[in-house]
Structures are given as C-alpha cells and as structure tokens.
Amino acid sequence: MATREELSEFLAGVERRAFKQAVFAVRDESHALDIVQDAMMKIAEKYGDRPAAELPLLFTRILQNVIHDFFRRSKVRSTWVTLFSALGSADEPDVDPLETLDASGDARSESTETTYEREQVVAIIEEEVAKLPARQREAFLLRYWEDLDTAETAAAMGCSEGSVKTHCSRATGALAKALRERGITL
Amino acid sequence: MNQDEFGFRVRQALNEGADRLDYKTVLRLEQARSAALARQRHAGPATVRLPALQLATAGPAVGDDGGPWGWLRGAGWIAPLVAVAIGFVAISHWQEELEIERLAALDFAVLLDDGPLEAYSDQGFGLLLQAERPADR
C-alpha cells in the first residue's frame, strides 16, 4: 500500500507532465488544471491503497480517461478538434521526415543557445505536439514522455500494440515534418 | 535519426517546458495534490492473528520474526481444539463415575432388600430398584 508520502512524491513527480499533456489535449490551461486535479482526486480516493509501484500506470489511465470524459462533456469542441486532426493528417507524404532531419546537434551544443531561443524552440515543439491528432499525440506522449513500453501504452489507451506502433510512427513522422518546416533542428 | 532518438529529443524539450511552468500553475498543482492526499483511500485495519489463549497484555512474543518461538504463533489455533478435547474426556470420565456410583447403589440396595428371592431373577427388578432408589434416599 502506498503511504501518504509515497503518493505525494509520486504526484509531485508527474503533475507537471500531466498538466502539459492535458494542455496539449484540451488547449486550455484552466481546464487542464481541473483535469489534473480530477485525476489526482480519483487516484487518491479509489486507488490510494494500492502499492506505489502500480501508481504510474494507474494514473496514466485515469488521466487519459478524465481527458476523454472532458471531451465527451463538450461534444461540439471534441467534434471540431477531431475534424481538424483528421484534416491535418490526411495528406502525409510517403517520405520519412526523420530521414531528412539533421541529427548533428546534440543536447550539449543546444545548451549554448540563449535561453530565449531555447524557450522559443520548446514552445514551437509544444505547439506542434498539441497539433498532432489526439490518438497519435496520446501514443507518442505515453511512449516517449511517460516512458511506457508498447504493451503498457496499449493497455493505457485501450488498443492493440500494433495500433500503438502505428500511432507513434505517424506522430513522429508528422512532428518531424512540422518541425523541419518551421526550421527546428533537434 | 531513428524514431526512438527523435522521441528522446522531443522528450527533453517537453521536460524543459514542464519545468518552466509559471508560479500560479505550480501553486494550483500543489493545491490539487494536497486536496487529493487529504482524500487518500487507506486500506482497512490489518488483521492481527492471536493465539486463542494468549493474553492480550502479553505483547509480541519473542521470535515474532520467525525466531525459535515463532512456531508458537502458528500453533495458536491448536489450543481451542486441545481445550475441547480435554472437555470431552472430562465429561466422559464424569459420566463413567456416575454410572459406577449408580451400579454400586443398586448392588447395595439389592443386598439390603428383604424382598422375595424370585424377584432377583426378574429382569425388571433392577429397574424397579432403580426407580425406587430416590425414594429410599
């Protein structure tokens, strides 16, 4: 059973990422804060007696469910976002944008850039991540930001591992293309 | 650059963005966390198994962690069975004593009785004596 300290430490460790994920999904910081608070409440009330090791996957699923519930409650907005996402991903090129990305820069060389420039880059990346279709963004963030493996991501999303791989591949392709067009080199 | 490497670099950028949240947002998240912790569900009280005959004031037995006397804790459920068995033996012994006493009283009554000798061959005579014995007393 997770102690109060363990749960507190866990929530403190994930709350910022959870907030950002919610912002990417709902594109509104106020709603995103409500979503994160709702998810925190649910994991504490319903799963507060679970072992600490189970909390990450539980919280991931709860957060995704709360985000989905938010969209169910605002159907008009959900329809609009889905339509926009579908249009955005309709004409993906056959070429893999990852192949054309310049991989010469590394984190150390980037650290020499000014803080302002770096913040701008991060903001653009966040903007483009938010533009990804919902399922692609969800899979990409769970897989690469939350560091879940394919099976865990599939379990959290309620889909097959094959779907997760497809979503991740499309998401990285779309993101790489968008960043390249905006002159961002990772 | 492969997919995993690209994902890792995006992850670094996203982490930077998450670390730069404004003060108000961080404060709201802390408040949300505190509110959630206040409602944390706790498991029910743990079940403590005590041997039936162990005194509640005895405190933890030596060797609770599986030491030389640890087997006593596990054998605690045997004590009630032993008590019940002892009870059965005692009741059986008591009934046997009663039977011996009853037969002795019967023999004594027969020896003192001045009834006809034919009566002693009657199978129901013993029952008659037994029925009359309380009145004799």
CATH number at residue A138: 1.10.10.10
Higher pLDDT among residues A79 and B48, named by residue: A79
User: Nearest residue of A to residue B21 by CA position?
Assistant: A16
- The whole-angstrom separation of Cα A129 and Cα B132 is 106
Q: Which residue on chain A is closest to B18 by alpha carbon?
A: A16
pLDDT of B95 over the 90 cut = yes
Helices and strands (DSSP H and E) totals, chain A: 10, 0
A40 and B35 in contact by Cβ < 8 A? yes
Q: Quick one: pLDDT at residue B103?
A: 83
A87 domain-assigned: no
Same domain, A103 and A160: yes
| Phi and psi angles of residue A94, each rounded to the nearest 5 degrees, phi first | -75, -30
Q: Six-digit token pair at A48?
A: 């507060």
**B10 vs chain A: nearest CA distance in angstroms?**
7
- How many structural domains does chain A have? 2
**pLDDT score of A38 more than 90:** yes
A97 and A54 fall within a common domain: no
| Residue in B1, B8, B43 nearest the CB of A1 | B43
Q: With cut-offs at 50, 70 and 90, classify the pLDDT of residue B113.
A: low
pTM, to two decimals: 0.58
Instruction: Answer whether B36 sits within 8 Å of A143, measured CB to CB.
Output: no
Question: Distance between CA A125 and CA A118 in Å, rounded?
Answer: 11
In a domain, A81, yes or no: no
Residue B61 has pLDDT above 60, yes or no: no
- Rounded to the nearest angstrom, the minimum Cα separation between A133 and chain B is 16
Task: Tell me which residue range forms the domain holding A100.
Answer: 92-181
Residue B121 phi/psi, 5° resolution? -85, -10
Q: How close A78 comes to chain B (CA, Å)?
A: 24
Dihedral angle computed from the Cα positions of residues A7, A9, A10 and A16, in that order, rounded to the nearest 10 degrees = 130
Looking up residue A59, the CATH number of its domain turns out to be 1.10.1740
Bigger pLDDT: B129 vs A170? A170
Q: A102 and A32 in one domain? A: no
Confidence of residue A73 (pLDDT cuts 50, 70, 90): confident
Per-residue pLDDT tens for A4-32? Answer: 888 899 999 999 999 999 998 888 889 99
Same domain membership, residue A67 and residue A34: yes
> CB distance from B46 to chain A under 8 Å?
no
Exposed/middle/buried for residue A82 (C-beta within 10 Å: 0-12, 13-18, 19+): middle
pLDDT for B76: 75
| Contact across the interface for A16 and B29, Cβ inside 8 Å | yes
Q: Which of A123-127, B10-14, B114-118, B128-132 has the weakest average pLDDT?
A: B114-118
A124 touches chain B (CB under 8 A): no
Give yes or no for a contact between A172 and B6, defined as CB atoms under 8 angstroms apart: yes
Chain B residue with CA closest to A35: the answer is B32
Q: Give every CB contact of residue A43 below 8 A, 6+ residues apart in sequence.
A: A7, A11, A55, A58, A59, A62, B36
A122 with A165, same domain: the answer is yes
CA angle A104, A16, B25 (to 5 degrees): 120
Q: Where are the alpha helices (DSSP H) in A48-160?
A: 55-73, 75-88, 97-100, 107-110, 115-131, 134-140, 150-157
Residue of B nearest to A39 (CA): B36
On whether residue A37 sits in a domain, the answer given is: yes
pLDDT of residue B118: 66
A127 contacts chain B (CB < 8 A): no
Residues A65 and A99 placed together within one structural domain of the fold: no
Check residue B71 and give left, alpha or beta (phi > 0: left; psi -120 to 50: alpha): alpha
Same domain, A108 and A153: yes
What is the C-alpha to C-alpha distance for residues A85 and A137, in angstroms, rounded to an integer?
Answer: 10
The ipTM value here is 0.72
Q: What is the pLDDT of residues B17-56, one digit of tens each?
A: 888 888 999 999 999 999 999 988 776 554 445 555 544 4
Interface contact flag, B3 A98, Cβ < 8 Å:
yes
pLDDT at B56: 47
CB within 8 Å: B1 and A186: yes
**Is A31 within 8 Å of chain B by CB?**
no
A61 and A98 fall within a common domain = no
Question: Are residues A150 and A140 in contact, defined by beta-carbon separation less than 8 angstroms?
Answer: no
pLDDT band at A72 (very low <50, low <70, confident <90, very high): confident
**Higher-confidence residue: A154 or B61?**
A154
Q: Are residues A104 and A164 in the same domain?
A: yes
Could you tell me which chain B residue has the CA closest to the CA of A119?
B17
Q: Label residue B62 by pLDDT band (50, 70, 90).
A: very low
Average pLDDT over every residue of B120-135: 69
Sole residue written with tokens 């709350």: A15
Query: Is A86 part of any domain?
Result: no
B29 with A33: Cβ contact below 8 A = yes
Residues A106 and A174 in one domain: yes
In a domain, A84, yes or no: no
Which three-class secondary structure state does DSSP give residue B70? helix
